[in-house]
Amino acid sequence: MDIDVRGPRFGAAVTTVVLAVALTTGSAWLLAWQTVAFALGTAGGVGRSPYGWVFRRFVRPRIGPPTEFESPEPPRFAQAVGLVFAGVGLVGFTLGPEWLGLAATGLALGAAFLNAAFGFCLGCEMYLLAQRMVVRVK
């Protein structure tokens, strides 16, 4: 079943704020929260992530029915990519080196910002590129 394209973009906007605050404050706790959010989005799909729940429960009823849909697999893969970067960032912030935490969190922030501001999902594009490569190999 396809998903409303506005949901992942909303999640990216919230993720952008969370990661920006985590990056500027160096908060391992906040980055840990975002890592959990990415893990839930990876395991259950973006609709089962905390931000997906907020979108579905509070935002979508106020903005009307969707007019555009997308496959759930690319955003789910993007959540997995975010999970890896947030996990590496968390390791950097808690165990060191701090630059690793800053770099990994900054890269995740950049990807989230691209999706939130411009609708360009870097993780989704990686997924689609990999799919095209697999089809070409067959």
Banded model confidence at residue 138, pLDDT cuts 50, 70, 90 = low
Query: What percent of the chain has a predicted confidence (pLDDT) above 70?
Result: 99
Residue 9 has pLDDT above 80, yes or no: yes
Domain borders along the chain are 3-137
**Which helix (DSSP H) or strand (DSSP E) does residue 69 occupy?**
strand 69-70
Q: What is the pLDDT of residue 64?
A: 93
pLDDT, greater one: 137 or 123: 123
φ, ψ for residue 68 (rounded to 5)? -135, 140
Banded model confidence at residue 136, pLDDT cuts 50, 70, 90 = confident
Q: What is the pLDDT of residue 135?
A: 75
What is the dihedral angle through the alpha carbons of 103, 29, 34, 48, rounded to the nearest 10 degrees?
A: 160
Residue 126 has pLDDT above 90, yes or no: yes
